[in-house]
Amino acid sequence: MHEDIRRLADRIKGADRVCVLTGAGVSAESGVPTFRGPQGMWKNHDPTELATPQAFSRDPKLVWEFYNWRRTLLSEVQCNPAHTALAAMESLVPHFTLVTQNVDGLHRKAGSANIIEIHGNIWNVRCTSCGHERQDPSPNLGELPCCDVCGGLLRPGVVWFNESLDPELWRQSVEAASRAEVMLVAGTSAVVQPAASLAGVAKRFGALVAEINPEATDQSDMMDIALRGKAGEVLPKLLED
Ligand code: BV8
Ligand code: ZN
């Protein structure tokens, strides 16, 4: 692995354009449960069942209980070395784009700047009636939070399953992946689409693609470099001289 880390570190340092896709695994060492990991359940509910418009219209109280639980948990966690390493890497690379599936806001907290939050952000709330959107850092927004403009029911400002991604954010993500000389895919099971397709886009346009994950994924065979380790341990090593 040491040889692969050196090879990847050299490629990153020599690159003009780097694109990174992160998933729940880069927040795992902050103590944030992943979606599909061993402790990926919440009160015997599968998170992917709760992160849907259908679940919200069927039982908004349950879905808000789930999101208030995550907001409360996230309000108490710190960034980990994976987040800080990616923030440091951004300052080394002329054109660095961080595409994240995570909604926890920890990349921004760690100092990353050019972030594309393709699945939204849990700290955003949006009115289901008038569409008014605001950032709200409070850990718990109450059972059924209402819009302070029209009194309508608020929803988390995230992209649920079976909802479309913001077309402009997706276009920017595909552009960054297609222009990258190096594409890192860190902490994602590569199950969720279309996010997972970015690695294939980068590869098709000639990028060196590398995966950072303690476990193999369906994309591992496509990778030029697969670093079998924790993001919080591997990413900082890519910055060592
Ligand atoms: C869409 C926001 C068009 C909410 C999220 C059948 C086949 C293929 C696709 C589909 C299908 N049926 C439906 C679809 C499309 C669907 C999809 O992909 N479904 C999957 C489940 C099959 N996608 C969508 O619906 C997307 N929209 O397609 O629009 C459309 C329009 C209308 C109708 C239909 C389609 C929208 C997807 C967005 C969903 N929202 N999040 C919220 O967070 O509350 S996705 C959610 O999963 C999170 O964002 C999470 O990040 C993401 C992906 O999961 P991962 O990040 O990969 O996390 P996971 O737990 O899976 O894996 C963790 C990994 O980390 C593991 O590999 C583990 O080994 C590793 N790890 C653990 N520890 C560490 C580590 N790695 C490094 N270091 C460590 N320490
Ligand atoms: Zn409103």
Decide whether any atom of ligand 1 lies within 6 Å of the 215 Cβ: yes
pLDDT of residue 48: 86
Decide whether any atom of ligand 1 lies within 6 Å of the 121 Cβ: no
Distance set, CA 52 to CA 77, 98, 150, 156, 158 (Å)? 25, 25, 24, 11, 10
pLDDT of residue 196: 98
Query: To 10 degrees, what angle do helices 197-204 and 167-179 make?
Result: 40
Decide whether any atom of ligand 1 lies within 6 Å of the 101 Cβ: yes
Ligand number nearest to the C-alpha of 152: 2
Q: Which helix (H) or strand (E) holds 235?
A: helix 231-237
pLDDT of residue 94: 98
Give the chain's residues under pLDDT 50.
none
Ligand 2 geometric centre to CA of 17 (Å) = 41
Residues with a catalytic annotation lie at 119
* Cβ neighbours of residue 167 closer than 8 Å, sequence gap 6 or more: none
Question: Could you tell me if 183 and 20 are in contact, meaning their C-beta atoms sit under 8 angstroms apart?
Answer: yes
pLDDT of residue 47: 85
pLDDT of residue 135: 96
